Amino acid sequence: MESCRQVVNYIESEHGEIPPILALPILSKKSMKSTTSVCKICADVQNSYSEELKNGAYKQQLEYGVHTIEELNKISSKEYGLCAFHLVRKSRPNIAVCTHKTVVKPKLRKYYLSSMAEKCVVVLDEGHNIGTVKC
């Protein structure tokens, strides 16, 4: 995430404004879950949450920039009523930073990357381990 932040900061210094880039980490729900988070979607154990949430009426408008898991956990429940995991899925980032397993394993790829923006750059964290994954 720090490398993404450096790129965004460079573009901002060159152009004088924050570029329309939203870079977010894509991790498992367990990894992104804050222990103090109350989420409108997670609270519905039947996973039949309201049509408004399903249809994106609660589409989050995170500020452009690079957001870490720690930052997302601080603001997600308090400001948006969602856990960090669902906040990321509703925000449709145009840069997704994820592990190699998220891209290589078909089930994970479909689940995690299906909610990204139509034109999304995927950055592999720990990409040097990509040869060790068994599909």
Give which of 35, 28, 51 is closest to 101, Cα–Cα: 28
pLDDT at 125: 79
Give which of 91, 90, 88, 83 is closest to 102, Cα–Cα: 88
CA distance 69 to 25: 7
| Domain locations along the chain | 2-126
Residue 10 confidence class, pLDDT cut points 50, 70, 90:
very high
> What pLDDT digit, counting tens, does each position of 65-80 carry?
999 888 888 887 777 7
User: Average pLDDT in the 35-43 region?
Assistant: 63
